[in-house]
Chains A and B, each alone.
Chain A
Amino acid sequence: MMNKISKPQVEAELRKFVGADVYVHSEATSFVFVRNFKVNVTEALIAGEGRYRAALRFDGHGWLRMEELTHYEVDGRGRLLLAGYDDRGRMNVALHLGREPFPE
């Protein structure tokens, strides 16, 4: 079940990935997705109200930024699954972080 983003909770969950090698699924639905990019996260940030922006700094010189995030879930495997839906349940964006590769 996807929960509406609570900024303090998601911020705390993001922080757990800082300093670690992280596998990323990042997606702007219909246009692009990447799955299992592996990066070393140096900063993980969230900003905004209601519809949120998240950003990762990685590998000492990289950025990944996504906006329009609305929901999240920390699943049974400790993966942080962020997604942005429209008002009718269609997904626009996704940002998933995990310590193991996501199933291909």
Chain B
Amino acid sequence: MNEANLEPKLKLLAVFAHPDDESFICGGTFAKYGREGVDMTLVSATRGEMGRRMGNPPYLNRETIAAARELELQEACKHLGIGTLQFMDIRDKTVEFIDEETLTSRVESLIREIDPDVVLTFHEKFGGHPDHCAIGKATTAAFRRSASRGALYFITFGEAMKRPERYGYTRQDVVKIDVGAHLEAKLAAFRAHRCQTEIDEWVWLPDREALAHFGRHEYFLKGNTEAPQRSQHDLF
């Protein structure tokens, strides 16, 4: 009926470590591309089952948290327009101890199967959490081995990459996405991660006040600088 529907969809693959990485770090960007019809797959290495926040007041324990966080992530994905969610079934806090070649091969087969236009993951050194760095390192290696096309980007925290010089990067290395029109969806995703955000009073303020806590932009570092120069404001 609509010819646009016959065009191949743009595809994005995100390979992260824990439920909530997608919402807390770059939820606005997912919401934006979700609304633009990009076909998005999220792979979470773990279910975040070793997390410390157990609801406020607490209602979870070590044996119940995995299922709760899986459901929360499913809900967050709906708000962000992420169509496919997969888990690698690695225990939280042990990603760096998984054989590197095994991990890389698993991500490599995902990339070959999905054939994404854009791959998002963590920077292997600046990822923050050991699980983040480990999945970032494996995904970067897998991308280099498998991608015949497409672009790799590292997700970054908050406005750290507003001034990339501090980290040894230049503006040319950074893509700055305007997510100003998608903050409601990002807030809904934060709230979906209920056991993680109940402790943060601002998340549960009236929408208008809560939304004021978000920045208008999310920043990404280019992972394959050899790729042709793209727009500084778009991942695709």
A: residues with CB less than 8 A from B are 1-2, 25, 27, 29-30, 33, 35, 71, 73, 75, 79, 81, 83, 85, 88-91, 94, 96, 102, 104
Contact = CB atoms under 8 A, between A and B. Distances in A.
Contacts of B56: 88-89
Interface residues of B, number: 18
B63 A96 contact: yes
A1 B59 contact: yes
B63 A89 contact: no
Contacts of A85: 54, 57-58
A81 B62 contact: yes
Interface string B50-67: 101111111111111000
A94 B61 contact: yes
B178 interface: no
Most A C-beta atoms less than 10 A away, residue of B60, B62, B199: B62
B186 to A, nearest CB: 23
- Residue from B52, B58, B93 having most chain A Cβ neighbours under 10 A: B58
A88 B216 CA distance: 29
B198 A89 contact: yes
Given A29-B52, A91-B54, A104-B91, A79 B60 contact: no
12 contacts: A2-B54, A71-B58, A71-B61, A81-B62, A85-B58, A88-B199, A89-B53, A89-B55, A89-B57, A90-B52, A90-B199, A96-B61
Given A89-B53, A89-B199, A90-B53, A102 B63 contact: yes
B199 A2 contact: no
A83 B61 contact: yes
Contacts of A102: 63
Interface in B82-104: 91, 93
